[in-house]
Amino acid sequence: MPQPLTPDERRDRLVFYPVAVVGGLFCLTVLMTIAATFGDPQAPMARWLNRHGTPLLLWETALLVTVSVLAMVIDRVRTLQRLKKNRSTPAGVKTETTLTTFPPDQRFDPQDRRDHDVG
């Protein structure tokens, strides 16, 4: 059973909800444009999309890129703040967001072929 989210984790996820909403709107517009292409060309929605579909898709693309980049920047800033906070925490004190570090003998070595040889 998954553990409940901490307030910080909930706050971090909120940043990506606008990306999902704008992405869904973009997908809906693309699907409506495809439906209008194969449907009745005299239908009001088909005529409106023929007239305004390209600018609408361009604006939605620009909005999706903008919202996505902003969400990634905000997420990165929060991650760096959390890392800085963890570095300033005295040794031996546990915090919610400590990163796992492996001892040198357990780190991934791309030259180590022991577990990767197939035959």
Chain CA centroid to CA 41, Å: 37
Structural domain harbouring 51: 7-106
User: Is residue 115 included in any domain, yes or no?
Assistant: no
Whether the predicted model's global pTM rises above the 0.75 cut: no
- pLDDT tens per residue across span 35-90: 999 989 999 999 999 999 999 999 999 999 999 999 999 999 988 988 888 887 66
User: Is residue 2 included in any domain, yes or no?
Assistant: no
What value, to the nearest 5°, has the Cα angle with vertex 53 and ends 34 and 35? 15
Using CB atoms within 10 Å of the CB of residue 49, give its burial: 0 to 12 exposed, 13 to 18 middle, 19+ buried: buried
- Token readout for 7 is 């307030």
User: Is residue 65 included in any domain, yes or no?
Assistant: yes
The per-residue pLDDT for 13 is: 83
Q: Are 98 and 86 in contact (CB under 8 A)?
A: yes
